[in-house]
Amino acid sequence: MMSAPAPQEAPLLLACALGIERRALRGGLRRGPAADVALLRTGMGPAAARRAVAQRLRDTGLRTAPVLATGFCAGLETGMRPGDVLVATTAQLDGERIDCHAPDLLAEAIGRLGHTVHRGTLAGSDHVVRPPERRALREGGAHAVDMESAAVLSEALRAGPRPVAAVRVVVDAPGHELIRIGTLRGGLRAYRVLSSVLPAFFQWHSTSLPRR
């Protein structure tokens, strides 16, 4: 008599917004060990992120999948530099606050890869945030801002209980704004960092799955 097949573990859903972010992540996936990962490009902005995540999580194999939002962000803290990594402890958008799963594990795993890691609140916005708004967000307790992460996590939890997290690589920070000379170098550094952090994502995924 044949035994029943073991239940499959939920894959990790990685969500990013931009084509360049997806290319960096694909590069990391090719170099790393085999892992059960679904990579989703949502498009820019919270509305696009919500639509894309809601549609993707209708897939039977992803209904309980842990979700990790990633890509680039604007750092808000003085001292942040392009290539630094922000591991969100919470994500916020339009008054909603989302607690992230196991941010310390993620931060420590990324730190062991040799990167500078910051932990804190990741604010969400529906538009590119200019310097005066950035100061207001910083004064309100945010450490970084992007347009999709909070919406991705919010929609993922709306689809069902699951571990969620957000990891963003700083590409723009106080004193290192995108319009300044050196932007290309900073952007390349951020791209390389994003491509290199997949092992930490895999570790987070493996420890977030329910034990059998």
Q: Mean pLDDT for each 10-residue chunk of the chain (212 residues)? A: 44 96 94 78 97 95 95 93 96 96 98 98 92 87 96 98 97 66 67 96 88 48
pLDDT at site 68: 98
Q: Residue 170 contacts by C-beta under 8 Å, 6 or more apart in sequence?
A: 72, 73, 74, 75, 80, 81, 82, 83, 84, 85, 86, 144, 190
d(CA 68, CA 72): 13
Rounded Cα distance between 107 and 160, Å, is: 25
pLDDT of residue 4: 32
CA 164 to chain CA centroid, Å, is: 9
Q: What is the CATH number of domain 12-208?
A: 3.40.50.1580
- The 10 Å Cβ neighbour count of residue 137 is 20
Separation of alpha carbons 121 and 81, rounded Å:
17
- Amino acid of residue 74: A
Residue 137, both tokens:
């967000």
| Chain centroid to CA 44 | 14
Letter for the amino acid at 189?
R
What are the E-state strand segments in 100-186?
A: 117-124, 142-146, 164-172
Helix 198-208 and helix 19-31, axial crossing angle in degrees, nearest 10: 80
Q: Whole-prediction pTM value?
A: 0.90
Q: Cα dist. 36→66, 97, 198 in Å? A: 11, 29, 12
